[in-house]
Amino acid sequence: MAKKADHQQRTLEVVALTDRISTWLKKSGVDDGDIRATLAVGLTGFLEAARTTRERLEAMLAEDPTDLESADRALEHAGVISAYLFSEARDHLLEVEALWESQIEERLAALGTPESPEGT
């Protein structure tokens, strides 16, 4: 039961962060809802994949690779790490990377303080 509650809490945190990112993106001038969704979901998906990867890495490091049963558990953790790191995290990172410069950095640079006139 505690695992289900933890999962529900984690899901709520992911949804809340996604909403915060989307709201911030809208305030920064990203008007296209599809782009906002891609960035918000991509960022939170990447962070969640990284969080899961870290948790599984910690669990794998707690196993004894010289013990057969423990090594089997470590292998299971390694498989999950592989899936999250090289599929989930990478896919989300590539989605975000494709939009980051044009939708975040360039917009923020344009909103920044104007350059002072020459000679002042």
Output the pLDDT for position 78.
98
Output the pLDDT for position 107.
92
Output the pLDDT for position 5.
86
- List pLDDT tens digits, range 10-69: 999 999 999 999 999 999 999 999 999 999 999 999 999 999 999 999 999 999 999 999
* Torsion over CA: 3, 16, 53, 60 (sign): negative
Alpha carbon distances (Å) from 31 to 45, 96, 99, 103, 107: 21, 16, 13, 10, 12
Output the pLDDT for position 111.
86
- List pLDDT tens digits, range 62-94: 999 999 999 999 999 999 999 999 999 999 999
For the chain, domain boundaries: 2-103
d(CA 13, CA 32): 24
Crossing angle for the helix pair 90-100 and 33-61, to the nearest 10 degrees: 140
Count of beta carbons in the 10 Å neighbourhood of residue 39: 24
Output the pLDDT for position 92.
97
Output the pLDDT for position 112.
79
d(CA 50, CA 45): 9
Provide the phi-psi class of 78: left if phi over 0, else alpha when psi is between -120 and 50, else beta: alpha
Bigger pLDDT: 94 vs 111: 94
Rg for the chain, CA atoms, rounded: 20
Beta strands in 14-92 (DSSP E): none
Q: Is the pTM of this model over 0.95?
A: no
Bigger pLDDT: 97 vs 111: 97
